[in-house]
Every structure is written in structure tokens, then in C-alpha cells.
Amino acid sequence: MASIRGGSTVIIELEDVYQYLAGCRAQASVQARAATPEAGLPAGFDVFGYEECARVLREPRTFSSSQAYADNATRVFGRTIIGMDDPEHKRHRDLVADIFQQRALAPFVDEVVTPACHELIDRVAPSGRADLVADLSLPLPILVTARILGLPADDEGRFHRWSLDLLEMSDDFQRGLDASAELREYFAGVVADRRRQPREDIISRLLSAEVDGIRLEDEAIYSFLRLLLPAGVETTARSIVSLVRRLLAHPDQLADLIRDRSLMPQAIEEGLRCDAPALMIMRVATRDTELGGMAVPAGSALVINLGSANRDERRWPDADRFDIHRDAQQHLAFAAGPHMCLGLHLARLETAATVNAVLDRMPGLRLDDGQPAPRVTVGTNGMSVLDSLPVLFDV
């Protein structure tokens, strides 16, 4: 069964992680950290406070993404924007940013996302039971990504396999490298076809994107398309299933949302605040600086604890409480600054469409008490792991 993985080693229960982060945050917003080889982390600093995390993310000249990610990212995906700093990063991001704005993606909701939701729900609707991970939240963003890229329906099976291989890369790095190489070869053929016959899809838009007379080179397009899979699929899959899990644990708020769908944007943001898909990301200091009262030397590796920042009581009162009536804007689930997640609008649109479809098509939604209780853990790479969410609903 497909699962949302969080790394080769599951290290701790998610709620235990949040308790640990709260304790660290109470001691100091920034702390020196010894190397932790089992997690692949060098010595450096842990950043726990909201303001401190936000500052690091918004000051790319002082805190580099490229130095933190360039080697591993380049090995797997080629040169991508997560392994770049300005001005190179800005030049590449400007070329693709308009394509992923909400207004540009909105038509895909009715044309692609909602039909894909119902297609997947149709498969389980007669039974009155489903695993919302294996049956919906994981296959949906893979299917949607394939379709907005304009890939042939006959290729969706291969695309699904490649996506899963990339998602499982923490468990089998070579498998991920092989999938990446196969995808590069596959996309080379698709790009050549779109040059001959452009269509109304994302790949054709990437080919025609131009800023100040500059266009993306083909290799940059191949790299960007490969990065969409683990970045876009995991973010959306985790956002969907985490929000539904929270709603099922708070039936009063689930009832509020069923009655008033205008609460959906707030519910999505609160779900992201409470359960950031990635609990941490990395940066490297480019020069001597100060952060949270700590002297940070140039070259220091910093772990930006997004999961801690989003639970900082100085930013959100009663921060551990899930509340869809809260204003959760400005959370850091999608990071912040120039490297803020490019696919955030697509993730929000997909999450809204999917949760609406679940509420419409699965009346009486409830956890399946006959199955093991959902267990959320965290892997060594800081990604949350929810292997299944078994539910029952009225037929």
C-alpha cells in the first residue's frame, strides 16, 4: 500500500515532537546544536521561535538556501531553484512564478482537480469505507500533476510509479536517482513534442515563459518538472490528510465546516499551521551575524524548525489548539521570503477541492474504529508520516 513516508527511520511520535519543540522554545528561541549524524545534520544552530525563523527565511543574503541544498538537490534533480540564491534564483523564479499564481491555476480546479477527486472517490463510494491516504490524498496530487502537465492518460501509470519512487528516496536513494533519470528522459520527449505542438498545459507555458527576453533552458525545465513531484505531491498529500484527521478529532468544527463552507480557507490555513508538511528546513549563514541573542559565525548550518515556529505562543495564543475559527495567516508551513513554496496556491486549491468533495460524497464521515488508530510520526528528514487514515461513511 502506498504511504506518505518521512525518511528511512521513523524516530518519534509527532505529538512528542511538538512537546519536545515546545520545551526547547521555552528555553531559548535559538540554540547551539551538536552534530547529529543519524539525522545527517552537522553542528550548528536550531531555530525555534517564530520571529527568528521568519527572519532567517526572509534574509537570503545572510542565510543561504543554495549552500544548504545545492549538492543533494543537484544530484537528484539537476539545477533547481531550491539550490539557487539570488540573483540566479530570482531570474529562474520570475520565469515560472506567473504560471503558478492562483489566477492562472484556478481554471484547473474545475477542469482537472475536482473531476480527479470524484474519480477517486467513485472507486470507494459503494463500500462506505476508505483509506484516505492510499485511496485519495496520495494518488490525487500525482494524478492532478500528470494532467495539468498534459501527459497522456496511457502514461499516468508510469508517472505514478516514478512519483512514488521519488517520494521513497529517503529509503532507497538509488531508486530515486533511477526514477529521476527516467523522468528526465521522458520529459525530454514531452518538451520536444510541445515545441512542435504547444497546448494549454503547464509544460507549454514553461516553454513560452519569458522575462526580459530570457527563457528557461531545456535542462532547467526538466529539473523543474522533476522537482514538482516530491515537492508538490508530498505537500498537497500531507495537507489534505492532516486537515481531515484534525477535523475528525474535532467533530464540532467538522460540523461547522459542513454547514459553512466559507470557513474552508481558514480551516486549510489552520491545518497547515498545526501540521506543517515539513517540520524543518535548512539554511547556511553566509557571514557572521546575530540571531536571537546568539552569535552565528559564517558557515554555520541552521535548522529552521517550522513546526516549532507555527506553535509559538508568542505568535498564536493557545497555539497547540486546533481552531478553524482562528486567523492562522502568516504561518510558515510554506516557508517565507524568496524561497516560499512555489506550489502553495496549487496545494491550497487541491486541498479545498478535495475536502469539499469528501464532505459532499462521504456523509457521516468518521474514523473506522475497527482499524488501528492513525499514527503520525516524524522521520529523520523532518517530514511527518501518516501511513493510513481509515474512515467509514454512510452509503
Q: Which of 381, 386, 275 is nearest to 334 (CA)?
A: 275
In this structure, are residues 271 and 137 in contact, taking their beta carbons and an 8 Å threshold? no
Q: What is the CA radius of gyration of the chain?
A: 21
In this structure, are residues 323 and 270 in contact, taking their beta carbons and an 8 Å threshold? yes
In this structure, are residues 294 and 280 in contact, taking their beta carbons and an 8 Å threshold? no
In this structure, are residues 143 and 232 in contact, taking their beta carbons and an 8 Å threshold? no
Q: What b/e string do you get for 277-293 counting C-beta neighbours within 10 Å, with b at 16 or more?
A: bbbbbbbbbbeebebbe
In this structure, are residues 207 and 191 in contact, taking their beta carbons and an 8 Å threshold? yes
What would the pLDDT profile of 333-372 be if each residue is shown by its tens digit?
A: 999 999 998 889 999 999 999 999 999 999 999 999 998 8
Give the H or E element holding residue 320: none
CA atoms 186, 1, 13, 365: torsion sign: positive
pLDDT computed for residue 5 by the predictor: 36
**Pairing verdict, β 44-47 and 301-305:** parallel
pLDDT computed for residue 162 by the predictor: 87
Q: Residue 343's Cα: distance from chain center in Å?
A: 8
Low-confidence stretches of the chain (pLDDT < 50) are 1-9
Q: What is the DSSP letter of 4?
A: B
**CA separation for the pair 197, 123 (Å, rounded):** 34
pTM of the model: 0.90
What would the pLDDT profile of 285-334 be if each residue is shown by its tens digit?
A: 999 999 999 999 999 999 999 999 999 999 999 999 999 999 988 999 99
Q: How many residues does the chain have?
A: 395
The single residue listed with the C-alpha cell 529552521 is 304
Distances, alpha carbon 380 to alpha carbons 165, 182, 185, 367, in Å: 18, 27, 31, 28
C-alpha cell at 73: 538537490
In this structure, are residues 379 and 385 in contact, taking their beta carbons and an 8 Å threshold? yes
Nearest 5°: phi and psi at 284?
-125, 130
**CA separation for the pair 242, 347 (Å, rounded):** 13
Nearest 5°: phi and psi at 36?
-125, 85
Q: Which of 231, 206, 234 is nearest to 218 (CA)?
A: 206
pLDDT computed for residue 7 by the predictor: 43
Q: Which of 323, 351, 198 is nearest to 249 (CA)?
A: 323
pLDDT computed for residue 6 by the predictor: 39
**CA separation for the pair 55, 63 (Å, rounded):** 9
User: Would you tell me how many other CB atoms lie within 10 Å of the CB of residue 11?
Assistant: 17
pLDDT computed for residue 391 by the predictor: 97
pLDDT computed for residue 11 by the predictor: 56
In this structure, are residues 17 and 320 in contact, taking their beta carbons and an 8 Å threshold? no
pLDDT computed for residue 41 by the predictor: 72
Q: In DSSP terms, which residues pair with 211 in a beta bridge? A: 214
User: Would you tell me how many other CB atoms lie within 10 Å of the CB of residue 103?
Assistant: 8
User: Superfamily for 10-392?
Assistant: Cytochrome P450 (1.10.630.10)
The DSSP code sequence of 135-153 is: IIITHHHHHHHHHHTT--G
**CA separation for the pair 12, 8 (Å, rounded):** 13
Distances, alpha carbon 151 to alpha carbons 154, 155, 159, 232, 351, in Å: 8, 7, 9, 16, 22
pLDDT computed for residue 2 by the predictor: 35
Q: Which amino acid is at 392?
A: L
299 Cβ neighbours under 8 A, 6+ residues apart: 284, 285
